[in-house]
Amino acid sequence: MSAPAVPLAERLQERGPTDWTAPEMQARIARRYRGERNFRRLGMLALIVAASFLAFLLFTIVRDGWTGFQRSEARLEVTFDAAVLGVDPAAVRGPDGAALLARADYPGLLLKAAEQLGPASDTLSDAAWLELRDALLADPALLGKQASLWVPVRSGIDLLAKGKYDLSAPADSRGVSDEEVADWRWLDGQGRLRTGFNMAFLTGADSTEPELAGIGGAALGSLLTLLITIAIAFPLGVLSAVWLEEFAPRGRLADLIELSINNLAAVPSIIFGLLGLAFFLNIAGLPRSAPLVGGITLALMIMPVIVIAARVAIKAVPPSIRDAALGIGASPIQVVFHHVLPLALPGIMTGTIIGIARALGETAPLLLIGMRAFVTDVPEGITAPATVLPMQVFLWSDDVQRGFVEKTSAAILVLLVILIAMNSLAIYLRNRFERRW
Amino acid sequence: MNQNPAIGHNQQPKMTARGVNVFYGQKQAIKDVSIDVSSDHVTAFIGPSGCGKSTFLRCLNRMNDTVDSARVEGRIELDSQDIYAAAMDVVQLRARVGMVFQKPNPFPKSIYENVAYGPRLHGLARNKADMDAIVESALRRAGLWDEVKDRLSESGTAMSGGQQQRLCIARAIAVDPEVILMDEPCSALDPIATARIEELIDELRGRYAIVIVTHNMQQAARVSQKTAFFHLGSLVEYDDTSTIFTNPRETRTKDYITGRYG
Ligand SMILES: Nc1ncnc2c1ncn2[C@@H]1O[C@H](COP(=O)(O)OP(=O)(O)OP(=O)(O)O)[C@@H](O)[C@H]1O
Ligand SMILES: [Mg+2]
């Protein structure tokens, strides 16, 4: 199509009815269809790429992680000999019997019992004596009798039992010694080995030994931390949003506050950690490594998110509802609490849970306030030393011992399950409370 | 504009306004309006769009307080009490001077809760039976009872537009106000629903002082006994409806009524 010399007005004059069947027109339409098809294909492709990354991630974590929920145990015939334990059977039946039993020499008893394993006597976990103690404390009548107990084995044997080593590889590159392989073969041949669900992993806390390490302590630490976070961030965030939306005088100050809040939401989380370190630990003197300080720090971090979500939700409540309530004599506070907040609640909760989920996965600010600690006890309260799930993942992934690889993936699975549960709750709450007007 | 606003009855007017000016920021929306509203009849506000009818109506129950830029000057009294005085409780004022809005705005709650909300706020019912009685009588007076008595627990927002507007009227009268302000209550409704509301206004007349803003000349003529014509923020003429529609004093009024402008 060359540009015609005729002036525009004249051309428009001469223009006849549009010819939809002309070849150029057909070509244009075909081009449009092609464009739309390609765009849709491109969108699909993007989705497939994203989904396959996600699927790959999930697949590797599940593949590596599911054995983390299991541990291998060896069967041991234990004779609870009072002499070996170093206790007096008569005194045990007395009033302080339980205390006496708790202090008995179980490592010695274990050493003796392990003799029956012959060449594999050194395969038992360092903390296997705890099983003996727990068995006797649970049933003091066992004293002087024999019992068959399952006790955890060392991580190397555990991994062999789970088939984690490539035994066809040359000895110096397969990461496990010939001696351990022989021990494992012997135990297995005797029928003394089993691999089962590892309850201690879900209930216990961290340990230097992979076979003894548990995620329970970190999970509880996360829970306590998040409770503090919610208790502080939700009321503060919602009240700030209500005040900003409903009562704050419009003007320069309100604009400034809005700007600050939006900026705060984008501040890197490590900076909140620095604030927590400088203020809560150094000035306020709160305990290090504690869920209390972690919770407050994370609350500061997610409060802007809640404020922003709550403001959007409050803004979305139609003004006609406010007019209606004011018009029959509701006070501004009553309007907020009877109408605006209930209607805004689904949006507020969605925002809050997204904030909480972010807090659950956060490590950087907690590093600075000492929640990187190696904590071997399940935390007893909000001021006790604790660690949190993502921090536990980080600590384990950093550990050189082979046994922590599957623990790391298992911990990630626990974290993911909690995240999915929380997001499902968010969706449920939103659908449950969503109302139409 | 200084005409004599008080016309007719020996009775005290329910509400009086004297020299009212309203500004939105720098812009003046109402200029020196003085008017009396009596309990005996329905008063209609008419005038071209943007002349300030809604603005003035919203002064009568201080709904303009919610607009940051709005400023009200002059004196407005309810039963000889200055409603803009510091001692005036706005919440109580709005319970005494109810309002029905242009767009039906029921709460997204049950029909029962919509009507019961006001009485509950002001503690008008001592027990459940009291409340049931209040809700029933308000719905009856709003001509809605027979349609909804079997589905009081259904959502108020799930009704037709006309039913919603009558629900809003029921909600307003449930707190037993002395004055009801209606801002174009029928503009979102079809002729049949409009006729129902007009009937309703007629039934409520005498019990409450009613002020209605309308763009519909026939409606003003049908439901009101007094009519006020506003133009560019000023009250041009205020008289018996029959006089306004048959023999207006001002040519501006006549032009507007006969549809020559506005
Ligand atoms: N919130 C507000 N802020 C600023 N100006 C306003 C506001 N509300 C109304 N106005 C102005 O005040 C004037 C009167 O408005 P008002 O709503 O009272 O008119 P009206 O007579 O009710 O019109 P309509 O018949 O279209 O409803 C208009 O010029 C309008 O632009
Ligand atoms: Mg209006």
Question: What's the CATH code of the domain at A345?
Answer: 1.10.3720.10
Instruction: Report the C-alpha gap between B241 and A398 in whole angstroms.
Output: 88
* Minimum-distance CB partner of B121 among A321, A334, A437: A334
Whether residues A232 and A312 share a domain: the answer is: yes
**Hey, are the CB atoms on A328 and B157 less than 8 Å from each other?**
no
| B23-45 pLDDT, tens digit each | 999 999 999 999 999 998 899 99
Distances (CA, A) of A61 to A47, A140, A401: 21, 43, 18
Ligand with smallest separation from the Cα of B29: 1
* Minimum-distance CB partner of B117 among A250, A328, A331: A328
B91 → chain A, closest CA residue: A329
> A47 in a domain, yes or no?
no
Whether residues A87 and A186 share a domain: the answer is: yes
Which of A144, A163, A197 finishes a domain?
A197
What is the predicted pLDDT for the residue at B138? 93
DSSP assignment of A285-319 equals: -PPTT-HHHHHHHHHHHHHHHHHHHHHHHHHTS-H
User: Chain A closest CA to B157's CA: distance in Å?
Assistant: 6
Whether residues A174 and A319 share a domain: the answer is: no
Residue spans of alpha helices (H) in B122-213: 128-141, 145-148, 161-174, 191-204
SS3 category, A68: helix
Q: Does residue A13 or residue B143 have the better pLDDT?
A: B143
User: Chain A closest CA to B10's CA: distance in Å?
Assistant: 30
What is the predicted pLDDT for the residue at A433? 74
What is the predicted pLDDT for the residue at B8? 44
User: Chain A closest CA to B260's CA: distance in Å?
Assistant: 34
Under 8 Å CB pairs connecting chains A and B tally to 65
> A56 in a domain, yes or no?
no
Amino acid in the structure at residue A56: F
Q: A389-397 and A404-433 helices cross at what angle (nearest 10)?
A: 160
> A418 in a domain, yes or no?
yes
> Which tokens hold the place of A233?
């961030």
Whether residues A81 and A147 share a domain: the answer is: yes
For residue A409, give every residue at least 6 positions away whose Cβ sits within 8 Å of its Cβ, in sequence order, or none: A60, A61, A62, A63, A64, A65, A68
SS3 category, B229: strand
Which of A197, A229, A258 finishes a domain?
A197
Whether residues A253 and A393 share a domain: the answer is: yes
| pTM of structure | 0.81
Whether residues A285 and A171 share a domain: the answer is: no
**Chain B residues with CB-CB distance to A344 below 8 A:** none
Could you tell me which residues are beta bridge partners of residue A146?
A79
Torsion, Cα of A168, A169, A171, A175 (10° steps): -110
Q: Is A265 within 8 Å of A201 (Cβ atoms)?
A: no
Whether residues A313 and A259 share a domain: the answer is: yes
Domain around A170: 72-197
> A204 in a domain, yes or no?
no
> A64 in a domain, yes or no?
no
Whether residues A192 and A252 share a domain: the answer is: no
Question: Rounded to 5 degrees, what angle do the CA atoms B208, B212, B217 make?
Answer: 135
> A34 in a domain, yes or no?
no
Tell me: pLDDT of B4 over 50: no
Whether residues A236 and A331 share a domain: the answer is: yes
**Chain B residues with CB-CB distance to A322 below 8 A:** 66
Instruction: Compute the average pLDDT of residues B133-162.
Output: 91
| Nearest C-alpha neighbor of A159 from the set A211, A206, A213, A199 | A211
What is the predicted pLDDT for the residue at A437? 46
Distance B180 CA to ligand 1 centre (A): 20
Whether residues A273 and A168 share a domain: the answer is: no
> A253 in a domain, yes or no?
yes
Whether residues A149 and A188 share a domain: the answer is: yes
The reply to whether ligand 1 has any atom less than 6 angstroms from the CB of B233 is no
**Hey, are the CB atoms on A324 and B168 less than 8 Å from each other?**
yes
The reply to whether ligand 1 has any atom less than 6 angstroms from the CB of B103 is no
Maximum separation of any 2 CA atoms in chain A, in Å = 122
Q: Tens of pLDDT along chain A (437 residues)?
A: 455 567 777 777 777 788 888 888 899 999 999 999 999 999 999 999 999 999 999 999 999 899 999 999 999 898 888 888 888 888 888 788 788 888 888 998 898 888 888 888 888 888 888 888 888 888 888 888 898 999 999 988 899 888 888 888 887 788 888 888 888 888 888 888 899 898 889 988 888 888 889 999 999 999 999 999 999 999 999 999 999 998 888 888 888 998 999 998 889 999 999 998 999 988 988 888 899 999 999 999 999 999 999 999 999 999 999 999 999 999 999 999 999 999 998 889 888 988 998 999 898 999 888 888 888 888 888 888 899 999 999 999 998 888 899 999 999 999 999 889 888 888 887 787 765 54
Q: Is A399 within 8 Å of A418 (Cβ atoms)?
A: no
Confirm whether the ipTM is greater than 0.90: no
Q: Ligand 1: which residue has its CA nearest to atom 7?
A: B24
Which of A197, A231, A264 finishes a domain?
A197
Question: Rounded to 5 degrees, what angle do the CA atoms A401, A402, A405 make?
Answer: 105
The reply to whether ligand 1 has any atom less than 6 angstroms from the CB of B67 is yes
Give the ligand 1 atom nearest the CA of B184.
27
**Chain A residues with CB-CB distance to B101 below 8 A:** 320, 323-324, 327
**Hey, are the CB atoms on A329 and B171 less than 8 Å from each other?**
no
Tell me: pLDDT of B52 over 60: yes
Q: Ligand 1: which residue has its CA nearest to atom 26?
A: B49
What is the predicted pLDDT for the residue at A241? 94
**Chain A residues with CB-CB distance to B157 below 8 A:** 436-437
* Minimum-distance CB partner of B63 among A321, A326, A339: A326
Alpha-carbon Rg for chain B, nearest whole angstrom, is 18
Alpha-carbon Rg for chain A, nearest whole angstrom, is 33
| B161-182 pLDDT, tens digit each | 889 999 999 999 999 999 999 9
Under the banding of pLDDT at 50, 70 and 90, the label for residue B68 is confident
| Residue listed under structure tokens 């003091």 | A140
A339 → chain B, closest CA residue: B107
Whether residues A313 and A363 share a domain: the answer is: yes
**Chain A residues with CB-CB distance to B107 below 8 A:** 321, 324-325, 339
| Residue listed under structure tokens 């705890």 | A130
Q: Is A411 within 8 Å of A433 (Cβ atoms)?
A: no
The reply to whether ligand 1 has any atom less than 6 angstroms from the CB of B50 is yes
> A25 in a domain, yes or no?
no
Structural domain count, chain A: 2
Q: Ligand 1: which residue has its CA nearest to atom 16?
A: B52
